[in-house]
DNA sequence: ACTCGAAATCGGTACGCGTA
DNA sequence: TACGCGTACCGATTTCGAGT
């Protein structure tokens, strides 16, 4: 999972999801994501494939749409979902599955817009049984993402794309080597934490222990 | 201890074939 | 049509050895 800097959002960052993260969060398969992209059903809006080895990057809205599609896909054929998406796109919804709360009754599609329930005129033959609660999907996804993000204090990890893959405190971009350097210069754990308020005592100890271990094994090797 | 470059590895996509 | 599966391929990252 990536965070991208952008000036478009007040918070300064927004989330970008690799296909790996999307798979973890939606339970869709890699082949499904590829097929849905190929056929234009649900495409990654941040970055599409540009040859082998490049990443598909999905926005949060893409993720919500995929999650909704994955849930609907359990009971509906893809063709029906395609028709539904195409129908709402005609109404200028760029990502209907992530934007529209819709349901069907007596052959008519209803949807909610700005808090007002409206009837979609001439809803082709889209027949959706049941409803999709976008708000619940959003809450559910947020919980899952929080769980993925949750830091376990005292854990060291290497992550692709983070500090050139060097060992860092899990969930951060703080290299264990930086902690080690400061401790070697005579700072104690509390001093180090002043520089990194987010870290716990356990993080500092783990980083120091990790560096001691790797440096010792490098010497003996 | 540090730097550099080559090789190995990893995580991902592309593609073709098979199938329900 | 809507994938699953196996294999080839790609680009980024990691590892490792040699040189300084």
The CATH number of whichever domain residue A214 belongs to comes to: 1.10.10.10
Say whether both A131 and A208 belong to one domain: no
Domain boundary among A102, A123, A149: A149
Kindly state whether residues A99 and A178 are assigned to the same domain. Answer: no
Give the CATH number for residue A13: 1.10.1660.10
Q: What is the pLDDT of residues A5-27, one digit of tens each?
A: 332 233 334 566 777 777 777 77
Q: What is the pLDDT of residue A152?
A: 63
Neighbouring C-beta atoms of residue A195, cutoff 10 Å: 12
A83 touches strand C (CB under 7 A): no
Q: Tell me, yes or no, whether A41 and A138 share the same domain.
A: yes
| CA A106 – CA A102 distance, rounded (Å) | 14
Is nucleic acid strand C under 7 Å from A1's C-beta?
Answer: no
Considering the domain architecture, whether residues A160 and A140 belong to the same structural domain is answered as: no
Based on the fold, state whether residues A129 and A67 are members of the same structural domain.
yes
Select from A107, A125, A149 the last residue of a domain.
A149
Please check whether strand C approaches the CB of A31 to within 7 Å.
yes
Whether A182 and A129 map to the same domain: the answer is: no
Virtual torsion, Cα A89, A134, A64, A27, nearest 10 deg: -120
Closest by CA position to A80, among listed A30, A130, A115, A133 = A130
Do A57 and A102 reside in the same domain of the chain?
Answer: yes
Q: What is the pLDDT of residues A118-165, one digit of tens each?
A: 554 443 333 444 455 666 777 777 777 776 666 566 777 765 455 555
What CA–CA distances, in Å, run from A83 to A67, A77, A115? Answer: 18, 10, 24
d(CA A54, CA A48): 8
For residues A177 and A102, state if they share a domain: no
pLDDT band at A221 (very low <50, low <70, confident <90, very high): very low
The tally of domains found in chain A comes to: 2
Q: Which nucleotide minimizes the distance between its C1' and the CA of A23?
A: B12
On the CB side of A167, how many CA atoms lie within 13 Å of its CA? 19
Residue range(s) defining the domain that contains residue A105: 2-149
Using the predicted structure, report yes or no on whether residue A171 has a pLDDT greater than 60. Answer: yes
| pLDDT 10s digits, A202-216 | 777 777 777 776 665
Which segment of A52-61, A114-123, A139-148, A177-186 scores lowest on mean pLDDT? A114-123
How many whole angstroms separate alpha carbon A76 and alpha carbon A55?
29
Query: Where are the alpha helices (H) located in A7-107, listed in sequence order?
Result: 19-26, 30-38, 60-73, 78-90, 96-99
* A200 and A94 assigned to the same domain: no
- Which residue, of A104, A123, A149, is where some domain finishes? A149
Strand C, CB < 7 A, residues 11-30 of A: 29
């Amino acid at each position: 999972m990536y965070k991208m800097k952008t000036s478009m959002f007040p918070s300064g960052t927004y989330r970008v999801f690799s296909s790996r993260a999307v798979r973890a969060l939606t339970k869709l398969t890699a082949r499904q994501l590829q097929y849905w992209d190929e056929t234009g059903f649900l495409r990654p809006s941040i970055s599409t494939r540009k040859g082998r080895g490049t990443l598909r990057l999905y926005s949060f809205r893409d993720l919500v749409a995929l999650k909704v599609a994955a849930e609907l896909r359990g009971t509906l054929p893809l063709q029906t979902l395609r028709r539904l998406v195409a129908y709402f796109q005609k109404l200028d919804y760029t990502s209907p599955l992530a934007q529209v709360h819709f349901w069907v009754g007596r052959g008519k599609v209803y949807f909610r817009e700005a808090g007002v329930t409206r009837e979609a005129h001439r809803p082709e033959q889209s027949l959706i049984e049941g409803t999709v609660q976008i708000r619940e999907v959003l809450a559910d996804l947020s919980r899952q993402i929080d769980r993925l993000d949750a830091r376990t204090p005292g854990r060291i990890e290497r992550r692709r794309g983070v500090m050139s893959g060097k060992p860092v405190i899990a969930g951060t971009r703080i290299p264990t080597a930086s902690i080690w350097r400061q401790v070697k210069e005579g700072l104690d754990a509390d001093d180090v934490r002043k520089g990194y308020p987010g870290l716990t005592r356990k993080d500092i100890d783990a980083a120091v222990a990790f560096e001691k271990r790797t440096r010792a094994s490098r010497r003996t090797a």
